[in-house]
Structure 1
Amino acid sequence: MFRTALRTVLAHKARLLMTVLAVMLGVAFVSGTLVFTNTVSGALENSSTKGFDHVDVAVRPVYQEGEGDRVGKLPELTDATLDTALHVPGAASAIGVVKGFTAIADRHGELIGGGFRSEGGNYWGDDDPRYPLVAGTAPHGKDQVLIDSRTAQRAGYRVGDTVRISVDGPVLTPTISGVFTTDDGNVTAGGSLALFDTATAQQLFGKPGTYDEIDVKAKPGTAQSVLKQQLDAALPKGLTKTTTADQLASDQARVIADSMSSMKNGLLVFAGIALFVGTFIIANTFTMLVAQRTKELALLRAIGASRRQVTRSVLIEAFVVGAVAALVGLAAGIGIGAGMRALLGSFGTTLPDGPLVVTPGTVAAALAVGILVTMLAAWLPARRAAKIPPVAAMSSIHATATTKSLVLRNTLGALLAAAGAGLVLVATTMSGDSGQAPMGLGAVLLITGVFVLTPLLSRPVIAAAAPVLRAFGVAGKLARQNAVRNPRRTAATASALMIGLTLITGMTVVANSMQLAVEKLAAAAIRADYVVSMANGNFLSPDVERKLESAEGVTAVSPMRNAISRIDDETEFLTGVDGASFGELTDLPVADGTFTIDGTKVVVDRDTAEDHHWTAGSRFTVSYEDGRKQQLTVAGVYRPNEMMRGILVDKDTLAPHQSDPADMQILVKTADGPGDAVKARLVQATGSNPAILIQDRQDISDGIARSVTLVLNMLYGLLAMAVIVAVLGVVNTLAMSVVERAREIGMLRAIGVDRAGVKRMVRLESLVISLFGGVLGIVLGMFFGWAAGALVGNQLETYELVLPWGRMAVFLLLAGVVGVLAALWPARRAARMDMLQAITSE
């Protein structure tokens, strides 16, 4: 039986080719994902490990929780702390580390490093071992700075050039005194790093005489654990925390692994979708192969082969096909992993250098996935083939499905679909994360139920296309009859395309609805013409507010200033605003009282008010960050949204209690409204600072639209794998159907149907099947999009269902194009068939 199975595989190479391709694509995606994520993780881990070459133990401050009404604070690491660390017995050297945001502009004034990856620090003495100089000398004073070699290369900077730099607001124009190399993962990921001398860095980052961290290097022969014990004994108890370099590297590796896991899991989900779609193709292929070899299998049974041997024969074929596909897919996956890394580089994302990582786990996963998926998909056709009685198989009376089996299938499908739809509908009434699990389970059950019911649905849906097909004469009529002749085959073929279009349509509906919701939220909550913020999300200097107030044409300005406090023994954040103008700059509906922010009168959002049992007129005592207390009165309670919530206090009330005020955003109203000239004046007023973003509501909407479009395009690209597999399924089904209907096609040619008519018949059949799958996919996608939106709408009041009819029409058109393209080869093969040989074929 083993030899028989191998000969069968070799005899049907062409028929199994599409199955091999389908499995190979899924395996390639899985192995490519594993290779890519393992390679990136390995490179980042190696890079981060190199970053700890010059430290054995790191000393960091420990946040001190406040007691009672006292607000917590972070202790300072001073020169005294540094001196204590340096003089422990096992310490060879100690470096004080200062960090802060530093934006570097290119020669056109544009920000380098994307904002979130723009960092600054201190260069220790005249020879810092952390940052080897490749050109120039160490910096001294505010007028000199070092920049990393990657940034210098990207921007075309050299030693002696003047560069625009923003540090916490103010714009500096120092001279580049030198260029250094670094293994800093932030820089290797495309960020920038600027270094000042220590005193200058402390002053610029608002940390005079203090450090963020102290890195201690051990003497030769002193273990990291020993040095850590010595430091723990010498430093103040409870105020600092010591961590060995080995632990830092381990923690960093874990952080990298966690950050990569979401990407890996996301990519593997799409690989799973491709394999799931491929399962339909494999099952369909083996079902048709078994049907075409019925007499052959019956003869094997007649000469003594048992049911188990027949089943084993088909499964051996599946094993061989799966193994070949897995090996080819693994090789393709390694290429995909390398290609994805190169693709990131072309998008400007720089990764550390490192080898391509192909682990034994990746090889095992590729082989397991390819072989198991193929054998599982082939098991049902194998079992069905083994149960056919030899005499019945030779007489071909087994072909028609019994009424009992059809009723059972339709009943099971209806129950699954009803249960799935019910779970999805129940999930739409839930809020938060509680509705995600039932909605996910409901979606799986509903898709499974629709798949089971697809043979039943195919007849009425395809029958609806009869008037259109009549226009193509005999070819159209035959195409319709062929499409519904074997409903199960048609269903398996169409379902592969249905799943891909369900996901694509559902994601498109949710993404477009979310985009509109956020745009409406921004428009409803903000009356200001402009919102000013830092490109990296950090805080703005209060100087920015003063500069904007004095800008030409500005009529109202209000910061949104963060302040930490304690209320009822709990930490609460206050937002300081300009009480006189904030109402003019925002539109927050008041649920109770009046929107008055003045002196000790504040407004709070509804959620906070309910937590503290406050209403308009309630009084409460707040303890500010300096420890002083004050009684405040709730003037009004407003309805919060995703952009604004919390306790709003007049900034002048907060000012006496803040040593280092910082603004999250600044709202600006102008006399002339938003416009290019007005924006240019605001940019000039802020010193043409590359780190400051000045956006009107249209800019915010455009940014949201770009983000949504980018995510959608990525999802479309990933789901394209499933669609490609579905196309292979259509090609495979049609090609094998042509072989199965050889005599019929020969008879058609004999009675006068020309080659063009035969081609037209096969193409129309493919078109009908593809459009059937497309219609089911779009309808299901719209339902899931609505359901997911209803779940989101329970938390986002401005959410409103948006059905992008234009895009859905494009999706349906693409389904038709898929059908036409998939039929090219089978139609050509059918038309070129020799009619006499076809008529006499078995």
Structure 2
Amino acid sequence: MLDLAWQTVKARTSGFIGAFVAILCGTALVAACGILMESGFRGGVPTQRYAAADVVVTGDRTVRPPGGDVLAFEHAAEQPAIPSALVAKIAQVPGVTAAVPERTFPAVVVGPDGQALVDKPSLGHNWESAVLAPFTLKAGSEPRTNDEVVLDSGLAEQAGVAPGDQVRIMTRSAPVSYRVSGVVEGRGNRQATLFFSAATAADLAGRSGQLSAIGVLTSGDVADRIEDVLAADHVTVSTGADRSAAEFDDVSQTKAILAILAGSFGGYAVLVAIFVVASTLALTVEQRRREFALLRAVGATPRQVRKLIGVETTVVSVIAGVIGSLLGIAVGHGLRDAFANIGVVPADFELSISPLPLVAALLIGIGAARLAAWSASRRPSSINPVEALGEAAVQREDVGRIRLTIGYVLMAIGAVATTLPLFIRGQLGAAMSVMATLVLIIGLSLAGPRVIGGAVRLIAPALSRFSGVSGYLASANVLKNSRRLAAAVTPLMLAIGFAVVNYYSQTTFTAAVRQETTRSITADHVITGVAGVPAEVADAVRRMPGVTATSLVRTQVITASKTGDTVEVNRGPANGLDATAGGAVDLDVVTGDLKDLTTGTVALSDAHARWEDKKVGDTVEFWFADGQPAKLRVIATYDHDLAFGDHVLSAADARAHTTAGMDSAVLVKSGDATALRELTSRYPGLAVTGSVAVQDRSDERTQFLLNLVAVGVILGYVAISVSNTLVMSTAARRREFALLRLVGTGRRQVVRMMRAEAVVTVGLAAALGSLVAALPLTLLAIGFTGVPLPAGGVWVYLGVLAGAALLGVVSIAVSTRLSLRAKPIDTIGSRE
């Protein structure tokens, strides 16, 4: 059978090109997702500050709720502190030569022009930790007194100072002058580094008895021993490339994002790949139905026909899968570069490439192809041998009942799912619209021949009336071959619906957040800073007469919910406010009072409170941004959850669980702008602006761009499938074109006929794709903004339609002209 299948593939190479391209591209996409996922666990950037440390011990940023499975976890947004008592504990481990404590805190140098030097992260440390890089003194000496500081060479040059000079440094308060005792040379340039005496660093870090990390110097491989000793201390022991995640917060965040993103994106890619490969193989098998009919008529059993199709598909999929897996390396690097351009991944983040994702992608590609082949082979292998040749001459009248039933059920499920944004707000509601659309498209694809057949019966009479002979021929073709038309319409519909919903669901969500934030921030002035706002600024503003002010601390929380035996973990936005926030913020409080918002309390969004069955006075449990558990008393519920998330904490609690330990902004009601500017002038980098400045859209913009990149890649794959399908279906009609020309139809009339069919194909795809997108987007817009029209420029929708139309028309036109190049008499006599 293998030899027969190989001979068939060689003899019908053009017939298998479509399946080959679909499998190759799908495998490359899945392999790229696998590479990104593996890089989320093993990739990174070269470590700098910990280059000389064999082991780095930090707080555990992985939150795993009790009762959850291995996938029930979230990555904390902030680095948790660890007890300083662990230094002695680690030092006693055999093989450890030194356990070096490290304290890390924001420290910004004020330049000669009075401006903060913040072109990259600027961090202060205790001098003892300099040995971990190691940093070597280039000039001067170590800081011996509390008013001395050591700068790295790049920062010293930028500030224009040398040993013995004075330099102003801002940490969590107004700038303080220090004497530069030395200049050091370190590794890399991802961050600016300052070193203080041990006492000064402990004071500036502000966490008594707590450390940021512990660097361990060893005389052998003792990481496992350290892990055993610290097993109950909730820490992470990092070695090798993982040390960079402990050092750089953006790398740590990237590794978590890549693992989650690649899993989600990869799931979409696998689903679309199976869908595209199945559609392409079904078309390939459909075009060979006369061949299979002949095999059945001469005695081939259904099992032999299915086996032949399966082996042929395996041969093609193995070749395409191997090439596609290797191509996935280039696709993975391309995605990494795209993510770097939008700020999701550091530009110097290195991917980790091993055979595992390539082999997995190959197996998935082969598995998807075999599954598609099994589905496509059921019909030609099961028909009666006596009826085989007769049925092969014309297309089947209808699709199977099971397929239709599944299609209608999926369409019903998708339609019901589109209503979820009316009840579920936030990013989850927007995501549900996309999922509902995908379910609708799959259902419509399964029922496509029936639905498109009905639509064609309405269009065909008009087509024949207004387009002469060519229109009559096109009308007859689409009426009698609605299944072939459905195969061409489906991928175009998928591309249009998926692109439109993905774009406008994000723009609508962003518009809803902006709309609600504008209503919620009632402050007259907003104080912001390039590296945060020291907490003392809010206290100083509140001491001004007739002024109401509140700190605003942007943070995140991690929640867990249990549904049956499944534990779901989610990380979402939260905000810290003071009890005095009422004058500068309107949360649309439903129950309780924000004046009770003090340390140890929390306000919940009304929707989240109802979901968790919590009311004022109850206790709610979750995790702070640094992964530390929280058990707080509910003092209020509110409606403006899009602007403030599901949790509003006291500013003190939110600030205590961030690495910077500063406010994101200070919201001021009333007050004199001149007096506020005079106050902020003592803090380089601070500015007094209007309320719009507090609307931090960076995370949402990044998520939006991230989705666009992911969707763009998938749509690129779908576009290849669309072109592939249209070219295959048109090229298979060469004998039909030849017959038309032999009976007197002119070449131009055939071209015009195909042009009319292309218009029908594109028009139906545009209409169905738009309808599929309209329902979820309308309900999403009503649920989020109160109006039925989604937010965003109409030019994107028009651009998607234009792109789909161009792709469809060009693919059909090119393949038609190529099919007409041969003489009709030669073509009609050629084999199929």
TM-score interval (norm. to shorter): 0.7 to 0.9
Instruction: State the secondary structure of the residue aligned to 1:336.
Output: helix
Deviation at 1:87, TM superposition (A): 9.4
Change (3 A) 1:207 1:766: same
Distance in 1, Cα, partners of 2:526 & 2:266: 39
Distance in 2, Cα, partners of 1:592 & 1:327: 61
In the alignment, does 2:197 pair up with 1:178?
no
Find 1:399's aligned residue among 394, 397, 402.
Answer: 394
Aligned to 2:521: 526
Instruction: State the secondary structure of the residue aligned to 1:559.
Output: strand
Aligned to 1:385: 380
Deviation at 1:445, TM superposition (A): 5.2
Find 1:120's aligned residue among 124, 127, 136.
Answer: 124
Aligned to 2:314: 319
Distance in 2, Cα, partners of 1:839 & 1:222: 75
Describe how 1:377-456 pairs up with structure 2 within 5 A. 377-395=372-390, 399-402=394-397, 410-422=404-416, 424-425=418-419, 429=423, 446-456=440-450
Distance in 2, Cα, partners of 1:202 & 1:302: 88
Q: 2:172 is aligned with what amino acid?
A: D
In the alignment, does 2:548 pair up with 1:560?
no
Change (3 A) 1:768 1:123: farther
Change (3 A) 1:35 1:135: farther
Instruction: State the secondary structure of the residue aligned to 2:477.
Output: helix
8 Å CA contact retained: 1:103, 1:119: yes
Distance in 1, Cα, partners of 2:212 & 2:400: 72
Instruction: State the secondary structure of the residue aligned to 2:6.
Output: helix
In the alignment, does 2:488 pair up with 1:493?
yes
Aligned to 1:133: 136
Describe how 1:181-220 pairs up with structure 2 within 5 A. 181-182=186-187, 192-206=192-206, 212=211, 215=214
Instruction: State the secondary structure of the residue aligned to 1:823.
Output: helix
Distance in 2, Cα, partners of 1:43 & 1:241: 23
Deviation at 1:268, TM superposition (A): 0.6
Aligned to 2:368: 373
8 Å CA contact retained: 2:511, 2:791: no
Change (3 A) 1:671 1:485: farther
Deviation at 1:322, TM superposition (A): 0.8
Instruction: State the secondary structure of the residue aligned to 1:399.
Output: coil
Aligned to 1:643: 644
Aligned to 1:334: 329
Q: Which TM-score applies when normalising by structure 2?
A: 0.73
Instruction: State the secondary structure of the residue aligned to 2:526.
Output: strand
Gaps of 5+ in 1: 61-72, 233-237, 563-572, 616-633, 652-659
Instruction: State the secondary structure of the residue aligned to 1:170.
Output: coil
Distance in 2, Cα, partners of 1:421 & 1:171: 59
Distance in 1, Cα, partners of 2:817 & 2:487: 23
Change (3 A) 1:817 1:75: closer
Aligned to 2:285: 287
Instruction: State the secondary structure of the residue aligned to 1:810.
Output: helix
Change (3 A) 1:206 1:800: farther
Change (3 A) 1:271 1:280: same
Find 1:98's aligned residue among 103, 107, 126.
Answer: 103
Q: 1:168 is aligned with what amino acid?
A: R
Distance in 2, Cα, partners of 1:164 & 1:756: 81
Find 1:771's aligned residue among 763, 770, 787.
Answer: 763
Change (3 A) 1:841 1:430: same
Change (3 A) 1:280 1:136: farther
Distance in 1, Cα, partners of 2:649 & 2:731: 75
Instruction: State the secondary structure of the residue aligned to 1:414.
Output: helix
Change (3 A) 1:55 1:750: closer
Q: Deviations over 1:789-809 (max 9, x none)?
A: 67xx4xx79797625471333
- Tell me the percent identity: 21
Distance in 1, Cα, partners of 2:463 & 2:793: 22
Q: 1:560 is aligned with what amino acid?
A: S
Change (3 A) 1:217 1:503: closer
Aligned to 2:693: 699
Change (3 A) 1:816 1:48: same
Distance in 2, Cα, partners of 1:40 & 1:728: 29
Distance in 1, Cα, partners of 2:576 & 2:828: 86
Find 1:576's aligned residue among 575, 578, 600.
Answer: 578
Aligned to 1:722: 714
Gaps of 5+ in 2: 61-79, 247-251, 554-574, 619-634, 653-659
8 Å CA contact retained: 1:424, 1:442: yes
Which shows bigger deviation, 92-101 or 174-183? 174-183
Q: Deviations over 1:799-836 (max 9, x none)?
A: 97625471333322222122123224213213423223
Distance in 2, Cα, partners of 1:34 & 1:112: 36
8 Å CA contact retained: 1:771, 1:815: no
Find 1:832's aligned residue among 816, 821, 826.
Answer: 821
Distance in 2, Cα, partners of 1:671 & 1:782: 47
Describe how 1:816-831 pairs up with structure 2 within 5 A. 816-831=805-820
Instruction: State the secondary structure of the residue aligned to 1:319.
Output: helix
8 Å CA contact retained: 2:579, 2:595: no
Describe how 1:471-550 pairs up with structure 2 within 5 A. 473-533=468-528, 540-543=534-537, 546=540
Instruction: Give the RMSD, CA atoms, in angstroms.
Output: 5.3
8 Å CA contact retained: 1:284, 1:493: no
Distance in 2, Cα, partners of 1:450 & 1:469: 27
Aligned to 2:656: none
Q: 1:530 is aligned with what amino acid?
A: H
Change (3 A) 1:242 1:464: closer
Distance in 2, Cα, partners of 1:105 & 1:761: 73
Distance in 2, Cα, partners of 1:312 & 1:242: 55
Change (3 A) 1:648 1:241: closer
In the alignment, does 2:668 pair up with 1:668?
yes
Q: Deviations over 1:746-803 (max 9, x none)?
A: 244456655444334334423432332232222222323345567xx4xx79797625
Deviation at 1:741, TM superposition (A): 2.8
Aligned to 2:621: none
Q: Which TM-score applies when normalising by structure 1?
A: 0.73
Deviation at 1:313, TM superposition (A): 1.7
Describe how 1:723-802 pairs up with structure 2 within 5 A. 723-750=715-742, 754-787=746-779, 793=783, 802=790
Deviation at 1:138, TM superposition (A): 5.1
Q: 1:823 is aligned with what amino acid?
A: I
Deviation at 1:502, TM superposition (A): 2.6
Distance in 1, Cα, partners of 2:334 & 2:780: 34
Change (3 A) 1:374 1:134: farther
Distance in 1, Cα, partners of 2:722 & 2:419: 33
Instruction: State the secondary structure of the residue aligned to 2:18.
Output: helix
Deviation at 1:314, TM superposition (A): 1.7
Change (3 A) 1:206 1:686: farther
In the alignment, does 2:27 pair up with 1:16?
no
Q: Deviations over 1:579-618 (max 9, x none)?
A: xxx554334556689998999xx99889699967679xxx
Instruction: State the secondary structure of the residue aligned to 1:527.
Output: coil
In the alignment, does 2:613 pair up with 1:586?
no
Q: 1:802 is aligned with what amino acid?
A: P
Deviation at 1:312, TM superposition (A): 1.6
Distance in 2, Cα, partners of 1:714 & 1:662: 28
Find 1:146's aligned residue among 134, 145, 151.
Answer: 151
8 Å CA contact retained: 1:48, 1:252: no
Aligned to 1:235: none
Which shows bigger deviation, 456-465 or 254-263? 254-263
Distance in 2, Cα, partners of 1:397 & 1:224: 68
Instruction: State the secondary structure of the residue aligned to 1:128.
Output: helix
